[in-house]
Structures are given as structure tokens and as C-alpha cells.
């Protein structure tokens, strides 16, 4: 039986996620409902993506009430992740919510606690962790391909903070750290076994609305290990990721959030391009994230071992500390 999806928001990331769902076919994934703040937006979304059997709603709560919806994908803007995720859980739905799950650590803890109390599946949509390239990276590290991991470097930058952009607006939950900085954070944590850093040192710039735009950060870990991260919502950065060990280096190609190529001492590993018309680079890889949600639901899991709640909480903690150190808005 297909996993029955309700899509919250008819924006760009929801379009890419829904397009990726279609790759696996309606025997595995079926979109049964779409909601947007304006019903006409949901109607247009359903028409453009050929979803003839999907119900259309002009209210997120109406979608959450739909008894045919099994799991809700929250693709709305950052400021409503908290509200909609909790709403969906209240109505007994499994939830996968775009990153960041919450605007701060407190919101993140509250959503996760609610899912645990209700015994419902919840996953932050950290699609990179479901990407075969990142899974191969973890495998290579475990196998000792580069010896003991000592350092990683990653950058995530694109000119997405400009007048009128959601990313620069305080009222819309803007933040370079929350929007794109989360990617080198998760990559570095993966290489360190998802350990909590022993120290975080960050510097950066905020805009006139006190929203973070440029960040340079160093994470320190036990036994002399470290990570260097660059995050920027005003400039295009290399968007590559490197991890160095005592026996060699592994490189992940750009873009860091959806890399499709890894170079290691054992050779080159590449993931074929997933077909489809997407807004964002390599967004076809979202299909692997959807597959992970389906696998977890079919097995009765309440969280994904690839993106566990502990990782979501750790990333939220780190991101809040980085923003605190540079004096940026943390949305308390």
C-alpha cells in the first residue's frame, strides 16, 4: 500500500519534494492532499504536478484533519514549522518537517516531546543524511578509509539574502545559519560520530534587521579534532565539503546540501541524476528522503536512524549558540 502524503504549502521546496515522490510511482507514494494559505495556490499546485486525486485545502488545519492523510510534509516558511508540526501531531499524523524543525532549541524540544508523548513518527527533513553520497561517506569513515578523522571543512553560501527575500527578514524567520548553515554543521557532525562539540567559536555579521548573513565558525571536539565552517547568505561560496584523516582526505562535490559525487582514497562514488523538473540543484535526491520516511512508517519506527531526534536537537543547540555569539536574532 502506498504511503499517503499531505503536502503543507505550495512553495518551491514542496514542488521539488512532490516531484521527487512521483519518481517512485503511486504504488509507493501518493499525494492525497495539498494545502496552501490561498486555496487557489493549492489548486494550481495540484494542476501543475498532475495530482488529480489530491484534495485541495485553503487551510493547513483542514489538511491535518483529513483522515486519508497518513504523513504530513511541512514545506512552509520557517516561522510556521512549529505551529504546523504540532497541529499535525495533534491530529495524529506522522510528520516530516523541513529544516529547521524549530526556530530555536526550545521550539525543537517541544515538538519532539509532543511526538514522543503521542508515539508518532517525526523527522526533520535533513535530506542530506538520506543521500547515498552521505551514507557512503559515513561508510568510508567507519571502514577507516582515511584513518582517524581529525578535521573537516565545509562552506554553504548563496546570494539569497536581498531586499524582499524571506531569508533577510526577521518576521519571516530569516537566518543564514538556519537556512543554509545547517548543512556544513550536519556534515561535520556526521564525520565526528554526531558528538557534541566541546567548544564553539563563531564570528560574523548581521544585517540591519539583526538577521545573521555571514558566519565563520570553528567547532572543537574531543581528542584534538575540529571543524571549520563558512556560512553566507550574500555570496556564492564553493559549497564543497572536505574531511581529513590521518591517512587521507575525502571530498564531496558542490552543492554540499545535495552532493552527488564523492572522491576518496578508494575512488570516486557518484549517484545518478534523478529525473524530473526541479527548482533546486540536485533536488531529485529528495526521493531518498521520502523513501526513508516510507521505510520508517512501514517498520513502525517513531524516528529515523538516519536523522534521529538526538541529531535534530544537537543541531538546534549548535545553531542557537552560533547565533548567540554573533548577536543575531534567535527568535525566543
pLDDT digits (tens, 9 = 90+) for 306-326: 999 999 999 999 999 999 999
DSSP class of 180: I
Provide the mean pLDDT of the chain.
97
**Residue-level pLDDT at 317:** 98
Q: CA-to-CA distance for 210 and 174, rounded, in angstroms? A: 10
Classify burial at 20, counting beta carbons within 10 Å of its beta carbon; exposed 0-12, middle 13-18, buried 19 or more.
buried
Whether the CB-CB separation of 253 and 259 falls below 8 Å is answered with yes
**Residue-level pLDDT at 330:** 87
pLDDT digits (tens, 9 = 90+) for 184-194: 999 999 999 99
pLDDT digits (tens, 9 = 90+) for 277-289: 999 989 999 999 9
Ordered domains of the chain (ranges, CATH): 3-128 (3.40.50.720), 131-273+307-325 (3.30.360.10)
Is pLDDT of 332 > 80? no
- CA–CA distance from 213 to each of 32, 100, 208, 248, 319 (Å)? 38, 16, 10, 33, 13
DSSP class of 298: H
Task: Compute the average pLDDT of residues 121-149.
Answer: 98
Q: Which are the contacts of 318, defined by CB distance < 8 A and separation ≥ 6? A: 185, 197, 200, 219
Q: Taken in order 162, 167, 170, 176, is the CA torsion positive or negative?
A: negative
**Residue-level pLDDT at 25:** 85
pLDDT digits (tens, 9 = 90+) for 29-67: 999 999 999 999 999 999 999 998 999 999 999 999 999
Let me know the angle formed at the C-alpha of 314 by 132 and 121, rounded to the nearest 5 degrees.
Answer: 65
Q: CA-to-CA distance for 32 and 247, rounded, in angstroms? A: 50
Q: Which are the contacts of 185, defined by CB distance < 8 A and separation ≥ 6? A: 229, 315, 318, 319
Amino acid at each position: 500500500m502506498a504511503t499517503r502524503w499531505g503536502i503543507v504549502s505550495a512553495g518551491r521546496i514542496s514542488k521539488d519534494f512532490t516531484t521527487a515522490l512521483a519518481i517512485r510511482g503511486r504504488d509507493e507514494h501518493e499525494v492525497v492532499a495539498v494545502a496552501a494559505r490561498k486555496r487557489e495556490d493549492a489548486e494550481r499546485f495540484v494542476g501543475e504536478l498532475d495530482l488529480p486525486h489530491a484534495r485541495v485545502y485553503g487551510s493547513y488545519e483542514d489538511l491535518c484533519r483529513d483522515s486519508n492523510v497518513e504523513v504530513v510534509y511541512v514545506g512552509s516558511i520557517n516561522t510556521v514549522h512549529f505551529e504546523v508540526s504540532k497541529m499535525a501531531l495533534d491530529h495524529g499524523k506522522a510528520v516530516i518537517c523541513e529544516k529547521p524543525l524549530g526556530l530555536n532549541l526550545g521550539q525543537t524540544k517541544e515538538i519532539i516531546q509532543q511526538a514522543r508523548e503521542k508515539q508518532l513518527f517525526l523527522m526533520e527533513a535533513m535530506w542530506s543524511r538520506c543521500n547515498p553520497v552521505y551514507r557512503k561517506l559515513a561508510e568510508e569513515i567507519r571502514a577507516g578509509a582515511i584513518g582517524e578523522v581529525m578535521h573537516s571543512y565545509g562552506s554553504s553560501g548563496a546570494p539569497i539574502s536581498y531586499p524582499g527575500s524571506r531569508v533577510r527578514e526577521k518576521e519571516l524567520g530569516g537566518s543564514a545559519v538556519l537556512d543554509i548553515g545547517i548543512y556544513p554543521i550536519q556534515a561535520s557532525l556526521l564525520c565526528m560520530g554526531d558528538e557534541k562539540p566541546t567548544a564553539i567559536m563563531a564570528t560574523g555579521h548581521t544585517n540591519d534587521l539583526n538577521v545573521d548573513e555571514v558566519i565563520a565558525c570553528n567547532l572543537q571536539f574531543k581528542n584534538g579534532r575540529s571543524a571549520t565552517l563558512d556560512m553566507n547568505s550574500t555570496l556564492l561560496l564553493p559549497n564543497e565539503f572536505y574531511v581529513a584523516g590521518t591517512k587521507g582526505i575525502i571530498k564531496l562535490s558542490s552543492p554540499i546540501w545535495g552532493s552527488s559525487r564523492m572522491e576518496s582514497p578508494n575512488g570516486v562514488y557518484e549517484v545518478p541524476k534523478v529525473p524530473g523538473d526541479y527548482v533546486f540543484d540536485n533536488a531529485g535526491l529528495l526521493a531518498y528522503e521520502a523513501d526513508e520516511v516510507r521505510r520508517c512508517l512501514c517498520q513502525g519506527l517513531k524516528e529515523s536512524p538516519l536523522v534521529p531526534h538526538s541529531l535534530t536537537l544537537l543541531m538546534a543547540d549548535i545553531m542557537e549558540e552560533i547565533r548567540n555569539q554573533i548577536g543575531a536574532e534567535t527568535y525566543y
